[in-house]
Amino acid sequence: MSDTPAIELRDVIKRFGETPAVDRVSLQIGDGEFFSLLGPSGCGKTTTLRMIAGFEYPSSGEMLIHGRSMATIPPHRRPVNTVFQSYALFPHMSVEQNVAFGLQMQRLPKQEIAPRVSEALELVRLGHLAQRRPNQLSGGQQQRVALARALVNQPEVLLLDEPLGALDQKLRKEMQLELKSLQHRVGITFIFVTHDQEEALTMSDRIAVMNQGKVLQVGSPTEIYERPTCRFVADFIGETNFIDGEVVESDGGYSSIVTPDGLRLRGLAPRTLPAGSAATLSIRPEKLRLTTLEQAGPEQVAALPVSVELVSYIGSDTRITVRLNEQRTLDVWEQNRRSTLDRNAYWQPGEQALLFCPPDNALVLAE
């Protein structure tokens, strides 16, 4: 059982009318994995999840749960449970009755249902609210009821559709930690839909980044952030500087590009790019280095003379916009590692400086 994936999608396409909402998606999600689907609004995350839950059927392609094809299995006979974005708690039932619903549908004896319900409510720390109606609960509490209602059935896979979307920032952070530790304890596969990249990065074992129905990249949070394989992923996850140009040289996993304004920059190339092809160099603002004219830069990295244009102090970081020439500016973030009130310790607008773009921190991506 452990080597068959918990969920497998093979070339799944879902069309509503003409354009596909999900376009040739293939995924393998392992047992006990915390897997996130991340992408902008309308990219097909919910549709993918609904196909796994059984509310939609693929227009073509295959969907398997633990190796079993789901082509003819209706939602109520699938070994998955969903935490809906809207929670979808039954308003005419108490918290306890909501949580008991799934077990009653399995026709378990009453003596078995009661302890499992209270156990599930303890798990989400809502034991004291068992008799309340959903409309007497706060958003966070409702969310936890939805979670308990799904978990109590001990599904093989738990599907979560932006379950934290309706919560305020603070509660959201709390629930993220809670969900993550809960997943560790119960050891169930979680498929978590979100359009919040930070949430996906902090919680997931692996992330699938989607756009326009396609899965663009699947990888660990570090891989997704540090080694995006295309421009969209680099842009969607975190902040980055893009520098468009033409490949002039490729060797040993690196490529060099030259821009129309005459810059020559080197970076890691995930794929070998032929000389003459169009490419984009992507470098994250925290990976650029800025020094004063007197200071030395990293060895063997060409220094680019720049002038500091904008400086914003945001506490942990200072965010600086530097100008290379008439047409081009880049963003540089520096951590404020030293505590000081001395204004001269920070960059000043108008100051001349040297910028270094280390090739190991930059990526050259095909257009």
Q: Which of residues 21-60 bind Mg ion (CB under 5 A)?
A: 46
Is 72 an interacting residue with respect to other proteins (CB under 8 A)? Answer: no
Starting at the edge strand that comes first in sequence, how are the strands of the sheet with 7-15 ordered? 20-29, 7-15, 60-65, 68-69
Q: Which residues contact 125 (CB under 8 A, 6 or more apart)?
A: 144
Strand (E) or helix (H) holding 100: helix 95-105
Residues in contact with ligand ATP, shown as a per-residue x/- string from 136 to 175 under the rule CB under 6 A? ----------------------------------------
The residue (of 37 and 354) whose beta carbon lies closer to ligand ATP is 37
Q: Which of residues 181-220 bind ligand ATP (CB under 6 A)?
A: 195
Residue 177 to residues 119, 181, 195: CA-CA distances in angstroms?
A: 20, 6, 17
Is 74 an interacting residue with respect to other proteins (CB under 8 A)? Answer: yes
CB of 20: closest distance to ligand ATP in angstroms? 8
Residues 8, 189: Cα–Cα separation, whole Å: 13
Residues 357, 92: Cα–Cα separation, whole Å: 61
Q: Which residues contact 80 (CB under 8 A, 6 or more apart)?
A: 52, 53, 54, 65, 155, 156, 157, 158, 159
Q: Which of residues 41-80 bind ligand ATP (CB under 6 A)?
A: 41-47
Chain residue at closest Cβ approach to Mg ion: 46
Residues in contact with Mg ion, shown as a per-residue x/- string from 277 to 316 under the rule CB under 5 A? ----------------------------------------
Count of residues in contact with ligand ATP, rule CB under 6 A:
11
> Among Mg ion, other proteins, ligand ATP, none, what binds residue 16 when CB lies within 5 to 8 Å by partner kind?
ligand ATP
Residues 283, 243: Cα–Cα separation, whole Å: 8
Residues 179, 164: Cα–Cα separation, whole Å: 10
Longest dimension (CA), the chain: 79
> Among ligand ATP, Mg ion, other proteins, none, what binds residue 57 when CB lies within 5 to 8 Å by partner kind?
none
Q: Which of 6, 7, 21, 29 binds ligand ATP (CB under 6 A)?
A: 21
Residues 292, 228: Cα–Cα separation, whole Å: 31
Q: Which of residues 105-134 bind other proteins (CB under 8 A)?
A: 105-106
CB of 16: closest distance to ligand ATP in angstroms? 3
Footprint on this chain of ligand ATP (rule: CB under 6 A): 16, 21, 39, 41-47, 195
